[in-house]
Structure 1
């Protein structure tokens, strides 16, 4: 089956429909572990590839705490700062290693437990992240159409039965190459500007 412009638009639109959690929607009351994992699962559930995927588990939260990405809970409860950090980690861990995330956070959030010495407030970081994410999605469709048209030209000589499969294959390869380039650039910036110099 061919992937035409309407199909491509629908797939990109489905990406845009994945839920974001605005700052206003983050509970201003402290949450116990089970409430926190339920909140994240309910609000970010559209990001799951299939039902077995987990958005956030108790083990993940404990590992992030041990790694110093999130401060320990206060009286077994998690506040807004915890929630924002965990949402950011959820997105970042799809691309970056835990060590890279820690390197990225350290100079900006200084002492992860206290907001007073943040280089940029965590709320501003999160709001900017959501804004940039939505801008990227808005331009993504136009870029995809341009690249898929180039791929269609490359597959013009393939017989009709194999043409559609070849197009889809090349689109996936193109997306992987693009994702890899973005990942490598992010890692280079972390390595050059965020990683600590050896003593």
Structure 2
């Protein structure tokens, strides 16, 4: 099995760069259109939506980002929504809210360079893509040289092992992220 070939088309490098976000405020439909044009290639199924009005309204209700003005979303809102978009499949809305609580407070007091922070986030994401590709190459090498070919002797079993390996790694990363969210919450309680 060629793991790299199986995972082609994931569009992992597809990050919303801060320079791609206009400096003028956007209405919700424009926000949705921007995200759809940027991330539609990463959808699993054609009918999937990248971002919907309901999602954005739920993020606002959960206070995942600071309040909007005049039904328009600033560049800073879009930067936060982009990070939320990436986190929502791993963390609960509650955990995402805890994670961004202090950032939102800083934004309301004009005390934070969110764009600079976001650019560092994109840099880390780009590095993570490179590490993921290295991990996949390493998995391919293990499949070729270390697995018992008498047991793992067809594409189905190899693919099953890869699925279990990837979901296991995903679980490790999710649990680590949840632990860090819990530490943020404990730190916040101690400061009060």
Say if 1:18 and 1:159 are closer, same or farther in 2 by CA, change over 3 A. closer
Q: Secondary structure at the match of 1:15?
A: coil
TM-score by length of 2: 0.87
Superposition RMSD in Å: 2.2
**How far off its partner does 1:16 sit?**
4.4
TM-score by length of 1: 0.84
Name the residue aligned to 2:25.
Answer: 30
The equivalent position to 2:125 in structure 1, one of 120, 133, 142, is 133
Name the residue aligned to 2:111.
Answer: 117
Q: Secondary structure at the match of 2:69?
A: coil
**How far off its partner does 1:169 sit?**
0.3
Query: Any idea what the Cα deviations from partners look like across 1:140-172, whole Å, max 9, x if unmatched?
Result: 222222223324432411385xx2211110011
- Number of aligned pairs? 189
* Residue pair 1:109, 1:117 contacting (<8 A) in 2 also: no
1:54 is aligned to 2:46:
no
The equivalent position to 2:162 in structure 1, one of 159, 162, 171, is 171
CA distance in 2, matches of 1:106, 1:72: 12
1:83 is aligned to 2:78:
yes
CA distance in 2, matches of 1:18, 1:134: 6
Structure 2: segments with no counterpart, 5+ residues: none
Name the residue aligned to 2:138.
Answer: 146
CA distance in 2, matches of 1:36, 1:79: 10
CA distance in 2, matches of 1:56, 1:131: 23
